[in-house]
C-alpha cells in the first residue's frame, strides 16, 4: 500500500517546453539536495522532486521494497494529474525510477538513471549506520558536535556533510535525524537488491556514471542493455557517486542534452 510522500512542485512555467521532470534522491538524501538543479530546470519545465519513504519530510514506515516505493511515486503522479513525465533517479532513487518505468512504461516518457545499475550490490553502509547511531547517543547541541560523533565512524568529510543535511533540532535543542533509520536499516537488504519489474523499459534512457565511482562498472553494461535496451551510458569526468553534486555543471549539461534530443 502506497503512502503519501512529501514533494516539492515548481509549478508550470509560462512556456513549458516538454513533460514535467520528476526527481528522486538516493539513500539518505532528500528533495532538498536538488534545490540548485531545480532552479535551473524550472525555467523551462515543471519539476517535481519527492522525498521517498523514510527520507526527508515523508512518513516513516516499514518496507523498503522497490515495488512499494515506486507505488508511492505513482500515487503522487496520480494526485498531481501527471500522466507522463521524464523521470530522473539517483542511486536508490534510480532503482525506484527503473522499477516505475518497467512497471508503468506508459507513464515515463524518458528515463535518466544516475550512478546505479539494475543489479544487486554488497552491503556497504555499515559505517554510515554506525555514524547515525553515534549521533543519537551523543545528543549533540551543535553541528560541530554531531560531526565529531560521525567522524568516529566516517572519515570522509564530504560524506558527513551530506548526512548532516538530515539533522533537525527538537524542542530541547538536541540535533537528531529526520530519517526513518530503523526502517531503513531493517529494509537494507531490499535497498541493495535489484529494482523491481519484469519487462524491460524500452523508452529513451540515459545512464550517467561518475568516472571515479564503482557503482556502474563495465560488467554491468550487459544487464543495463537487457533491462533498458535503448540506454545510452555516459561518464561524468571527475565525479564520484554523488556526480550531480560533485560536477553539477557537467551533470546538468548531460541531462539537458538528453532531454532536448
Would you please indicate which residues are annotated as catalytic (active-site) residues? 91, 182, 241
Q: Measured between alpha carbons, how far is residue 57 from residues 42, 130, 177, 180 in Å?
A: 22, 22, 11, 10
Residues 6+ away with beta carbon under 8 Å from 159: 128
- CA dihedral sign, ordered 114, 118, 122, 123: positive
Burial 24-56 (b: 16+ CB within 10 A, else e): bbbbbbbbebbeebbeebbebbbbbbbbbbbbb
Residue for cell digits 512497471? 103
Residue for cell digits 500522466? 83
**What are the beta bridge partners of residue 90?**
114
Amino acid at each position: 500500500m502506497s503512502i503519501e510522500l512529501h514533494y516539492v512542485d515548481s509549478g508550470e512555467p509560462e512556456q513549458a517546453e516538454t513533460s514535467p521532470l520528476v526527481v528522486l534522491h538516493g539513500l539518505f538524501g532528500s528533495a532538498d539536495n536538488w534545490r540548485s538543479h531545480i532552479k535551473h530546470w524550472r525555467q523551462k519545465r515543471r519539476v517535481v522532486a519527492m522525498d521517498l519513504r523514510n527520507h526527508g519530510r515523508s512518513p516513516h514506515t516499514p518496507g523498503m521494497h522497490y515495488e512499494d516505493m515506486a507505488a508511492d511515486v505513482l500515487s503522487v503522479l496520480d494526485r498531481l494529474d501527471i500522466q507522463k513525465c521524464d523521470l530522473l533517479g539517483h542511486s536508490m532513487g534510480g532503482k525506484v525510477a527503473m522499477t516505475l518505468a518497467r512497471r508503468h512504461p506508459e507513464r515515463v516518457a524518458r528515463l535518466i538513471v544516475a550512478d546505479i545499475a539494475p543489479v544487486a550490490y554488497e552491503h556497504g553502509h555499515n559505517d554510515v549506520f554506525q555514524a547515525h547511531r553515534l549521533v543519537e547517543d551523543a545528543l549533540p547541541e551543535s553541528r560541530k558536535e554531531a560531526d565529531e560523533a560521525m567522524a568516529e565512524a566516517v572519515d570522509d568529510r564530504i560524506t558527513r556533510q551530506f548526512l548532516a543535511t538530515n539533522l533537525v533540532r527538537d524542542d530541547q535543542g538536541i540535533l537528531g535525524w529526520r530519517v526513518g533509520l530503523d526502517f531503513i536499516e531493517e529494509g537494507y537488504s531490499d535497498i541493495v537488491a535489484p529494482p523491481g519489474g519484469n519487462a524491460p523499459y524500452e523508452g529513451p534512457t540515459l545512464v550517467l556514471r561518475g568516472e571515479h565511482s564503482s557503482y556502474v562498472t563495465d560488467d554491468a553494461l550487459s544487464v543495463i542493455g537487457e533491462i533498458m535496451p535503448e540506454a545510452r551510458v555516459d561518464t561524468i569526468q571527475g565525479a564520484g557517486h554523488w556526480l550531480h553534486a560533485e560536477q553539477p555543471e557537467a551533470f546538468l549539461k548531460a541531462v539537458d542534452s538528453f532531454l532536448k534530443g
